[in-house]
Amino acid sequence: MLKFSKEHEWVRVEGDIGTVGITDYAQQQLGDVVFVEVPEVGRVVEKGGEIAVVESVKAASDIYAPVGGTVVEANAALSDSPGDVNADPMGKAWFFKLKIANKGELGELMDEAGYANYVKGLE
């Protein structure tokens, strides 16, 4: 299952683990990504809480948790290869994985078609 937030994060859910990254739209708006700060494993975050940072040549942006939970893995490779966020935002450039605290929060997110319509409304 793949869901999207209005803040342009995506979460791919497998069981009770959600893998989180930013959307292609978000990386296009940022431009060339030069730095990524991922969260510490074990960190607990509420839905909508600031959890990571991405910096580009244009700006720095906070990344928000699309659902609440506990970080079980962080993509440390992004520190050495922040450009992966531009090259493969929906694939190898995931930011972190978390154990989802309340799967009910997923119902508040958009599916792929809903997100595509949301982005159209921004253009």
State the CATH number of the domain containing residue 70.
Answer: 2.40.50.100
Residue 102: predicted pLDDT:
97
Quick one: three-class SS letters along the chain? CEEECCCCEEEEEECCEEEEEECHHHHHHHCCEEEEECCCCCCEECCCCEEEEEEECCCEEEEECCCCEEEEEECCHHHHCCCHHHHCCCCCCCCEEEEECCHHHHHHCECHHHHHHHHHHHC
Residues of the chain predicted below pLDDT 50: none
Structural domain containing residue 94: 2-102
Two structure tokens written together for 111: 């599916």
Residue 85: predicted pLDDT:
97
Total domains in the fold of the chain: 1
How does pLDDT run across 90-109, given as a tens digit for each residue? 999 999 999 999 999 999 99
Q: Is residue 114 part of a domain?
A: no
How does pLDDT run across 43-54, given as a tens digit for each residue? 999 999 999 999
Q: Is residue 111 part of a domain?
A: no
- Total-model pTM: 0.96
Residue 23: predicted pLDDT:
97
